[in-house]
A and B are shown apart, each in its own frame.
Chain A
Amino acid sequence: MNRERFLFELKRSLGRMEESEKREILSDYEEHFRMGLSEGKSEEQIADLLGNPRILGKSYAIDSLLEEPKEGGGVTAASVVRAVFASISLTFFNVIVVLGPFLGLVGVMIGLWATAVALPLSGIAIVLAPVAALIVPSFFSLSTMSPAFLVFAGIGTAAVGVLAVIGMWKLSRLFVRVVAAYVKFNLRIVTRKR
């Protein structure tokens, strides 16, 4: 691979990033080629020693996606998802090491969310049941339970549900942070290899 090809591949794999940042990154490698050439190495030799430009580019892209924004906030779920997929495209190895656990955990999160959201909804439904029974008696038989009991049971269920939703919100934020940390860690190991 010659210099032009290396820089082209590198630039292409930087993904979405400020132009000025891309130029800064490329200039580091341009300087590297300049120095190498002045020592009498060939462009091919230098590129070979530098490693795979696509992997290098991705590692910049992921670093920049996972960077903490300067003011407030943190890493966003969207940027973490993009980072996960960028990291997957690095090597096939990652399909097993990152994608499997990631999809599994996403599945668990979806399940937990569904449960948390269902709780307050069913609470509301329980409260409304006696009302519905008054309107269309033929559809509901509540003879064994008093309406007062149902109202309190419904309020209780809804309250537990709201707590569950709050808990899930906190858990989701933790999940995003942990995934971000894992992708960073994983990437460092992957890019370490030649």
Chain B
Amino acid sequence: MNIQFKKGVLELCVLVVLCRKDYYGYELVQTISKNVDIAEGTVYPLLRRLTKEGYFTTYIQESAEGPARKYYQITPKGREYQEVLLEEWNRFINGVNSLIRTEDVA
């Protein structure tokens, strides 16, 4: 669980965000780094790997204000994976929180 958790945090962030809508790389990186302190560049290797593993697909779309952008879209396999990671995350957080509360009382 612990190893899975560490591996999964940034992965989970990317998956959760992409479950909502399609993002282009820059937009996705900004959304994540606004909330979580990361080196922004680390999101791109992750996106590439998860795309290769079949969790995302990509497409190019022209934009009104500039050159074409590469969009990422989650696949059904990606959604399934997101649910698994989210479940694990919640279990972990609940466990930690209940420990903290117990400490408070004692």
Question: Which of B3, B33, B38 lies in contact with A185, CB distance below 8 A?
Answer: B3
Say which size band chain B's interface belongs to. 20 to 34
How distant is the Cα of A59 from the Cα of B46 in the complex, in angstroms? Answer: 9
**A94 contacts chain B at the CB level, 8 A cutoff:** no
Q: Is A31 an interface residue when CB atoms closer than 8 A count as contact? A: yes
Q: Let me know if A56 and B41 touch, CB within 8 A.
A: yes
Q: Flag if B41 contacts A50 (CB, 8 Å).
A: yes
B45→A60 contact, CB < 8 A:
yes
Q: Which residues of A contact B39 (CB under 8 A)?
A: 49-52, 56, 191, 193-194
Cβ of B45: which chain A residues have Cβ within 8 Å of it?
A: 56, 59-60, 63, 191
A1 CB, min distance to chain B CBs, angstroms? 12
In the complex the two chains form, what is the Cα distance from A51 to B48 in whole Å?
17
Residue A82, interface by CB 8 Å = no
B70 touches A53 (CB 8 A): no
Judge if B7 is at the interface, Cβ distance under 8 Å.
Answer: yes
Is B87 an interface position by the 8 A CB rule?
no
Is B40 a contact partner of A28 (Cβ separation < 8 A)?
A: no
* CB of B44 within 8 Å of the partner chain: yes
Verify B38–A29 contact, CB threshold 8 A.
no
State whether B25 touches A28 (Cβ < 8 A): yes
How far, in whole Å, are A106 and B7 apart by their CA atoms in the complex?
26
B48 touches A25 (CB 8 A): yes
Q: List residues of chain A with CB within 8 A of the CB of B95.
A: none
- Asked if A20 is at the interface of the complex by the 8 Å CB criterion, the answer is no
> Contact mask B23-42 → A, CB, 8 Å, 1/0?
01111010001000111111
Counting from the closest, the 5 A-B pairs by CB-CB distance are A51-B39, A50-B41, A35-B26, A51-B41, A56-B41
Can you report 28 residue pairs joining A to B where beta carbons are below 8 Å apart? A28-B44, A28-B70, A31-B24, A31-B26, A31-B69, A32-B25, A32-B26, A32-B29, A35-B26, A35-B27, A38-B66, A49-B40, A50-B39, A51-B42, A52-B39, A56-B39, A56-B41, A60-B45, A63-B45, A63-B48, A63-B49, A67-B52, A188-B6, A189-B6, A191-B42, A192-B9, A193-B39, A194-B39
